Structure 1
Amino acid sequence: MDVPPAYAAGVRLLPNAVTVLALCAGLSSVYFALAGQWSLCIVATGFAAICDALDGRLARLLDATSKIGAELDSLSDLVSFGVAPALVLYLWALEGSRFGWIVTLVFAVCMALRLARFNTLLDVEQRYPFAKEFFVGVPAPAAALSAGIPLYVTLQFGEGWWSGEVLVGGWTLVVAGLMVSRLPTLSLKTVRVPATAIAPLLVVVGIAAAVLVTVPYLGLALVAIGYLLLIPYAGYRYRWLARHPEAWDVPVRERRAAARAARSARRLGIRPPLRRRVAGGASAVARAVRRLGDTEPGLPVIRRNGTPRTGPGPAPQRGNRLRLGLRRARRR
């Protein structure tokens, strides 16, 4: 059995040090906003997002996960992606508005609720085994990135209708609502890239890097909009997996084959497996058999109260075969 290497105590503190750096970067964005340096605000928030993506992976790599690290990570996310972006948007566009401070408070509170729910769901057994592939609501870094779209567009193209107080405040409330919503969103932690897609993905990464270098603010806006456009796809994928238990234990890269098999089964008129609990499926079969017993003389049938009965019944009906889950072959 492989034994994990024993790291020095100083190395095991590295994930928490990265989390503290993320916290400091988030607070620094407020400092830059007070000085009116909006570009540095975006840089500081982006650095905080990079640190947030690294600290958890470093903790698992160094076998340095701890409760204090998890709590510190949540507090850092609240400050870096909740309080700091809300204050930056307030100082940029909402300071002169009557409802600007209300919008700021709502965004920060929704971020706190979103993180509290995330920490609670970590210890709760999920209903579906594939639930780990999705987040509930928009995660904290993505919410901070999406809330800054009006700022990115303004820095790229100048002031316009997209920098108005009403639009900025309304958009901030929309993102706050997405954070505390029950919408499933994709978790990039579980994404596996097949070997055949590595080369095209590297090309896409190169194009994205070129866009971020030449037109950084427009690139950030496009990334945020692209992420938001993935939310309907995440909802469709979640519902599809919930309806197809045969794909639950299949690796992600092999689910396309399961999807093709499901489509072929529908074309052939074969029903998918039972979608409900076994007890619910068994009771449905029992009801179908009870109806069939009314058409077949001498067939024992269980009544609703549990007592058996036999006897003749009316003539067979066409719907009995469908009630049993059988379909007629498609005519060609």
Structure 2
Amino acid sequence: MRALAAPPGIKFLPNAITVLALCAGLTSVNFALRERWFLAVVMIATAAVLDSLDGPAARLLDASSRIGAELDSLSDCVSFGIAPALVMFLWALDDNPLGWAFCLVYAVCTTLRLARFNSALDDEAPPAWSKLFFTGIPSPAGALLALQPLSLDVRLGHPDRPEGDFWWTNSWVIGIWLVLIGILMVSKVPSIALKNVFIPARLILPSLILLVIAVTAAFYEPQIMFALGLFVYVAHLPYAAWKRRHLREHPELFEDPTRRRARARARRNNRMRPRIPGKVRVAGRYRDGRPLPRAARPRPVADQPDRPRPLGRRRLR
């Protein structure tokens, strides 16, 4: 993506987006204290969307800075580590004897995952294919997965049903679920970085149609679509592990997505470039019927000097 020449005052926009994500994460705790669980989940999801926008905005405006990177990590730690742990504790783990310990494990794993990510930025010579993957699941995805039991209970629960009617609302199941998500974040299980996913030209239209269908369904059943999206994300982890192992063993198969997009754009521009019929010569005339200039007309064979015909060329007739 080419950086734009932005006015100096607008370069604070990426940091403003990061601060808004931080505020959204903290607001989820406020909604949890008021037992407005659906809005608490929505605020965490909003923080995840904002977190996906600050990086591209910084690259587009050429406003990347060290303070922005540190602010982003601190915002992720609060929005996707501390806030989900507090929300889950207030919802189901308050009465569990180990409930606070489960929340601490999750929050610490999120912090360790972010610290490892920051340390990887100092690696000056990573393999070219490594930018296609995250090591461990990212913290926004981990936060959304941690809130999955709460989201399903908001959709499928009923005020007349007793608490803990579903097996996934049991406090021990929720505590173990938080620990598993924390382990996935600090593990070396790879996940595909969606920002580097390349969609072939023939699949753009079907992808747009599926996106419209998914967005429309999300207006009617947001919790169900939320669960389906997270299920697809977890299901792709085995494929990501195989893909990374395959590229590690065969690095020559990797092709830089930036060069691939540039080559595809060049092919598309060549196909769309109009042909100029006036510059094509046919039998001593232009294709539109106009005669060639005298200097460009072919001379009779008798007036042409004898030249040896080059080998390997076909004689035009």
TM-score after normalising by structure 1 = 0.73
1:239 corresponds to: 245
Task: Among all aligned residue pairs of Structure 1 and Structure 2, give the percentage whose two residues are the same amino acid.
Answer: 48
Match of 1:160? 166
203, 207, 211: which is aligned to 2:213?
Answer: 207
AA at the equivalent of 2:242 = Y
The match for 2:189 is 183
C-alpha separation in 2, matches of 1:238 and 1:252: 19
The code of the aligned residue for 1:60 comes to: R
TM-superposition CA deviations, 1:44-73 (whole Å, max 9, x none): 111111110111111111101111100000
What are the ranges of 5 or more consecutive residues in structure 2 without an aligned counterpart? 158-164, 261-317
Provide the C-alpha distance between the structure 2 equivalents of 1:4 and 1:244, rounded to a whole number of angstroms: 33
> How big is the shift at 1:222?
1.1
- After TM superposition, give the deviation of residue 5 of structure 1 in Å: 4.9
Shift of 1:6: 3.9
CA distance in 2, matches of 1:27, 1:110: 19
Partner of residue 119, structure 2: 120
Alignment of 1:1-332 (within 5 A): 5-125=4-124, 128-158=127-157, 159-249=165-255, 251=257
Q: Distance in 2 between matches of 1:127 and 1:37?
A: 44
Per-residue CA deviations over 1:15-59 (Å, capped at 9, x if unaligned) read 101100000000000000000000110111111111101111111
Q: Per the alignment, in what secondary structure is the counterpart of residue 185 of structure 1? A: strand
State whether residues 198 and 257 of structure 2, in contact with CA within 8 Å, keep that contact through their aligned partners in structure 1: no
| Residues 148, 129 of structure 1: alpha-carbon distance in 2 compared, 3 angstrom cutoff | same
1:248 CA drift (Å)? 2.6
| Secondary structure in 2 matching 1:102 | helix
Report the CA distance shift for 1:127/1:10 in structure 2 as closer, same or farther (over 3 A). closer
- Distance of 1:239 and 1:42 partners within structure 2: 35
Greater C-alpha Rg: 2
Describe the shift of the 1:6–1:129 C-alpha distance in structure 2 as closer, same or farther (beyond 3 A): closer
Q: Is the 8 A contact 1:194 1:253 kept in 2?
A: no
Task: Quote the offset at 1:149 in angstroms.
Answer: 1.3
Shift of the 72–244 alpha-carbon distance from structure 1 to 2, 3 Å rule, reads same
Kept in 2: contact 1:134–1:186 (CA 8 A): yes
Give the Å deviation of 1:246: 2.4
